[in-house]
A and B are shown apart, each in its own frame.
Chain A
Amino acid sequence: MRQFLFSLQKLDRRIIFVGMALSIFIPLLLPFSLPFKVSKEVQATYDQIEALPKGAPVLISADFDPSSMPELWPFFQANLHHMFANDLKPVFVTLLPTAPPLIWPEIKKTASLYKKQYGEDYVFLGYKDGKELVIKNIGQNIPQQFPQDYRGTPIASLEMMQGIKQAKDFPMLIAISAGFPGINEYVLQIQGLYKLPMIGACTAVSGPDYIPFFKSKQLLGLSMGIPGSAKYERLVQSKENVQPFSATGAKSLNVLSLSHLYIIFLIVIGNFAYFMTRDMEDEDGPG
């Protein structure tokens, strides 16, 4: 027993990695479903979008890249369905150079499911370099910052963009953010200055930084990581007029739960072994 406890503390890290890989691959290959409850942050996100009148333009900043796709892609996908199902008119921008090839095909695909026309029901302004400066300019003058859309069409010629000059012309801003520039910069440069209602979706790592914004009602809704995306996805899928789409968030959440159980198990046995052997001496010497 004693040797076993000591050997636990000197466990080869590769065994831990193999265990982690199994805890991820097994539930993916043998899917199961665990129950989960929708948090108030995510419920608020859904309710705020539901409260928007039909035909209202919504500014969506999709600032994620391949590395943050697992966490933010389910939210983005569900959000697209939510927008088009509610007949809202999203205007997409992105501040990350790797985002357009990811989001543009999905926007077109989802819009075609709901028979929406480009320029009338949705617009993609594309990517602009400049990070926080671009956000500042979106707040002040959108046509100056984006004279053309992603396809090279002058935005002045797009029907949907008539009357939209700056961020405060939108009734709502949704920032889907993987880091910098993202929710924090939008809150600083647009929400705080123009009091624009704003919703955020972020990665789990940056979640704790944005909770104070939700508490102070600077963010009216907040979705954090895979759990937030999965909950929002479930709410959108339960709507009547939404076209069916793959629930990638819910699938990932089940895997996430199992891998966390594995981590908790490791923490518990690691601590148990440590406390049991704290006053003992290892025969092989310190490991």
Chain B
Amino acid sequence: MDPVSIYEIIGVWVSIFLTLTVFSFLYDDNPIYKLSEHIFMGVTIGYGISESYWGVFKPNLLDKLFVWEDGQFAGESIYFLALLLCVLLLFKATSKWSWLARIPIAILVSAYAALKITGETTAKLMLQLQDSMPDLHTSWNRHGIWDWSNDGAGVFSDTFLVISLMAILLHFYFSKIPSKTEKWGYPLAGIFFLLCFIACFFLSPLQDSLIGSLIVSLSLASCAAMPFLAISPARKSLSRFGVWVLMLSFGASFGFTVMGRVSLAIGRAQELLGHNMSTERAEQVMPQTASFVSLLVIAISLFWWSRRKKDTEIACRLSLQQWAFSSFRFLFGFGCKASMNLCWDFGLCRWESRNFGSLRSI
């Protein structure tokens, strides 16, 4: 059995303590949680800066630029341009020269757009677009109308996909349809449905299966008629259907999100109990003892903190009352004194002015 180093043991104990301090937020926002939050932020920023310097800035810029051979500059001068662009970014912090930062930002944005655009169009737009137009004949041959063993793959699912996609797109169509155009919605949809159905039924490669031809033709005709229903009065119902489909997909995504969060909690619980390490290692590190000690420390801290918080609240309330009372006394006293002074001054002025007038008359 390899002995575990003291640094590893300290690391696991610190990790367990910090895990429980973060969980203490579930009780209430408290200083011990704040401590771990600040440690996390500090470590993340420190690690990020260090990685950026040693992984990007130094090898890609400094090591290529500041190269000296026999006392002579031997770096690649083109990298001065990169350095200049880096420096220009810092001007964002000033108000007068912040416009200079737009130059490197513009270069960054354009470079990133160029990097993304090929992949986005090739791998995402075209292929996904192609995949959203399923081949219903092949689908019927492989799965029929609904295949339980393949998560419901089949003609029904494919048709539902196309119709749902159109309904969702329709939900984001905000322009008003003129009433004259609206009148043509149902007739056009009907005509295209019939034409498409007849064409698909008689030209279907599924000649040996009448039911197959019928179902596939009906599905294709429904898909073909959908765009014309978008200009008919039925578009509101279709849009509503699109919203329902959206809600279903959001619900599924949310379910996955919950699963992800619970998975994180399981990971932490495994660490607290030492289930994420071998038995030999766990015997040396003693994660369960670490969890118990950390829990005890945190519980005592929370108890002390809540008592102190209560005391502070009482003290604040008392001092508030005292302050309010003394303020009243002060204001009252000040007001009385001020008014007395005013009266006095006013009287004195009158008396002095009278005297002054008498003097002038003399």
Q: Is A119 an interface residue (CB 8 A)?
A: no
Stretch at the interface among A47-55, A82-90, A203-211: A203-211
Contacts of B269 in A (CB 8 A): 21, 24-25, 28, 255
**What 0/1 readout, one digit per residue, does chain B (293-320) give for beta carbons within 8 Å of chain A?**
0000000000000000000000000000
| Chain A interface residues toward B at CB < 8 A | 13-14, 17, 20-21, 24-25, 28-29, 40, 67, 69-71, 97-98, 127-130, 132-133, 136, 185, 187-189, 191-193, 203-205, 207-208, 212, 215-216, 218, 224-227, 246, 248, 251-252, 255-256, 259-260, 263
Q: Which 3 A-B pairs have the closest CB atoms?
A: A192-B123, A70-B267, A188-B119
Interchain CA distance A168-B130 in the complex, whole Å: 24
Q: In the complex the two chains form, is A259's CB within 8 Å of B266's CB?
A: yes
Encode B44-83 as 1/0 by CB contact (under 8 A) with A. Answer: 0001100110011000000000000000000000000000
Whole-angstrom distance from the CB of A23 to the nearest CB of chain B?
9
CB contacts (< 8 Å) of B263 on chain A: these are 70-71, 203-204, 225-226, 252, 256
B269, closest chain A residue (CB): A24
CA A72 – CA B30 in complex, angstroms? 32
Q: Which residues of A contact B52 (CB under 8 A)?
A: 129
Proximity string of chain B (249-262) to chain A, C-beta cutoff 8 Å, 1 when within and 0 when not: 10011001111101
Contact residues in B for A20 (Cβ distance below 8 Å): 265
B209-265 contacts to A, CB under 8 A, are: 249, 252-253, 256-260, 262-265
Q: Is B257 a contact partner of A256 (Cβ separation < 8 A)?
A: no
Scoring B27, B151, B259, B270 by chain A CB atoms within 10 A of each residue's CB, the highest score goes to B259
Which of B56, B120, B151 is the one whose CB lies under 8 Å from A188? Answer: B120
B275 A128 Cβ-Cβ under 8 A: no
Tell me the interface secondary structure of chain A in the complex: helix
Closest to B51 in A: A97
One of B131, B249, B276 near A248 (C-beta < 8 A): B276
Q: Give every chain B residue within 8 A of A187 (Cβ-Cβ).
A: 119, 123-124
Residues from chain A with a CB closer than 8 A to the CB of B252 are 208
Question: B95 in the interface, Cβ–Cβ < 8 Å?
Answer: no
Query: In the assembled complex, how far is the CB of residue A224 from the closest CB belonging to chain B, in whole angstroms?
Result: 7
The residue on A at minimum CB distance from B44 is A98
Contact of B27 among A14, A127, A224, A255 (CB under 8 A): A14
Contact partners of A71 in chain B: CB under 8 A: 260, 263, 267
Report A-chain residues with C-beta under 8 Å of the C-beta of B276. 248
A128-B55, A205-B256, A259-B266 known; 12 other A-B pairs, CB under 8 Å? A28-B275, A40-B151, A132-B116, A191-B123, A193-B123, A204-B256, A212-B128, A225-B263, A226-B259, A252-B270, A255-B266, A256-B263
Is the CB–CB distance between A225 and B267 below 8 Å?
Answer: no
Q: Which residues on A sit within 8 Å (CB–CB) of B27?
A: 14
Establish whether residues A218 and B123, one from each chain, have CB atoms under 8 Å apart when the complex forms: yes
Question: Which residues from chain B contact A260 at a C-beta distance below 8 Å?
Answer: 258-259, 262
Contact partner, A216, options B26, B48, B128, B260, Cβ 8 Å: B128
**Across-interface contacts of A255 in B (CB, < 8 A):** 266, 269
- Which among A21, A225, A252 is the interface contact of B256 at CB below 8 angstroms? A225
From B51, B55, B150, B260, contact of A203 by CB (8 A): B260
Interface presence of B273 (CB below 8 A):
yes
11 of the cross-chain contacts (CB-CB < 8 Å) are A13-B26, A29-B273, A67-B264, A71-B267, A203-B263, A212-B131, A225-B263, A226-B259, A226-B263, A251-B270, A256-B262
Taken together as a complex, chains A and B put the C-alpha atoms of A80 and B118 apart, in Å, by: 33
> Does the CB pair A225–B259 fall under 8 Å?
yes
Does the CB pair A129–B262 fall under 8 Å? no
- Closest Cβ of chain A to B320, distance in Å, is 28
In the complex, the answer to whether B256 meets A208 with C-beta atoms within 8 Å is yes
Indicate which residue in A70, A97, A98 contacts B266 across the interface (CB closer than 8 Å).
A70
Task: Report chain A residues within 8 Å CB of B47.
Answer: 97-98
Nearest-CB residue, chain B, relative to A132 = B115
Q: Does B122 contact A (CB under 8 A)?
A: yes
Q: Whose C-beta in chain B lies nearest to the C-beta of A226?
A: B263
A205 to B259, alpha carbons, bound, how many Å? 8
From A25, A191, A207, A225, B273 is in contact (CB under 8 Å) with: A25
Pairwise interchain contact B256-A207, C-beta atoms closer than 8 A? yes
Closest partner residue, chain B, to A16 (CB atom): B26
B259:A256 contact, CB within 8 angstroms: yes
**Chain B window 123-167, contacts with chain A (Cβ cutoff 8 Å), 1 for yes, 0 for no:** 110011011000000000000000000110000000000000000
Q: A129-B51, A129-B55 are in contact. Are A204 and B270 (CB under 8 A)?
A: no
For A40, give its contact among B119, B150, B256, B259 (CB under 8 Å): B150
Contacts of B51 in A (CB 8 A): 97, 129
| Contact B55 A263, beta carbon cutoff 8 Å | no
Are A24 and B266 closer than 8 Å at their CB atoms? yes
In the complex, how many angstroms separate the beta carbon of B202 from the nearest chain A beta carbon? 31
- Within 8 Å by CB of A205, from B26, B127, B249, B257, lies B257
A216 & B55 in contact (Cβ 8 Å cutoff): no
B127 touches A192 (CB 8 A): yes
Q: Which residue, of B55, B120, B275, has the highest number of chain A Cβ atoms within 10 A? A: B275
A130 to B56, CA, bound (A): 8
- How distant is the Cα of A48 from the Cα of B91 in the complex, in angstroms? 52
Contacts of B278 in A (CB 8 A): 246
The smallest C-beta distance from A15 to any residue of chain B, in angstroms, reads: 11
| Across-interface contacts of A193 in B (CB, < 8 A) | 118-119, 122-123
| Assembled-state Cα–Cα distance A139/B276 (Å) | 35
User: In the bound complex, do residue B270 and residue A28 qualify as a contact, i.e. CB atoms below 8 Å apart?
Assistant: yes
Q: How far is the CA of A218 from the CA of B259 in the complex (A)?
A: 25
B268 to A, closest residue via Cβ: A70
A130 cross-chain contacts in B, Cβ below 8 A: 56
Tell me which residues across on chain B come within 8 A of A188, comparing CB atoms.
116, 119-120, 122-124
With A127-B55, A188-B116, A259-B266: A216-B127 Cβ-Cβ less than 8 Å: yes
